[in-house]
Homo-oligomer: A and B are copies of this chain.
Amino acid sequence: MTIADARPFAEPLDRLKRAGLRPTRQRLALTRLLFGRGDRHVSAEQLHAEAKAARFVVSLATVYNTLNQFTRAGLLREVVVEAGRSYFDTNTSDHHHVLTVATGSLTDIPVGTLAVSGVPKIPEGLEVERIDVVVRLRPRV
């Protein structure tokens, strides 16, 4: 039995408090959708549709606001795989991605699995924020 099972409502609330964000109804509902069922990659439109499907109507502007605030607070990580659309990853630990180009589906690669070596010397005054790796898959010819 996990903590989430034991206290189904306390967990989202704590998450917001720890991030220094007021626990409003909208943010709580979106938190449950985002973090309720394991790691996910969602776009703003997807999350907005999910909320609507769950009978919780939130404006699209609030979905965008929330995703951006969560990203700034370190609760989400933005993943850029194609120009023109942002995905948000609920897994903020160090890891990489596999993209199936044809379907747009995205899955995680734990950092232990894939390693990057030989990062070149970084100019003075700068440091590595992170290294994004996307393994792009296509149908075998």
Q: Which residues of B contact A136 (CB under 8 A)?
A: 128-132
CA distance A118 to B98 in the complex (A): 13
Q: Which residues of B contact A117 (CB under 8 A)?
A: 114-115, 117
| Interface of chain A, main secondary structure | strand
By beta carbon, the residue of chain B nearest A82 is B80
Q: Please state if A118 and B129 are interface contacts (CB–CB under 8 Å).
A: no
| Cβ-based interface call for A85 (8 A) | yes
| Cβ-based interface call for A126 (8 A) | yes
| Cβ-based interface call for A116 (8 A) | yes
In whole Å, how far is A119's beta carbon from the nearest beta carbon of chain B?
A: 6
In whole Å, how far is A71's beta carbon from the nearest beta carbon of chain B?
A: 12
Interface centre among A86, A109, A125, A135 (most CB of B within 10 A): A135
Task: Please report A residues at the B interface, Cβ cutoff 8 Å.
Answer: 78, 80-86, 98, 100-101, 109, 113-120, 122-123, 125-141
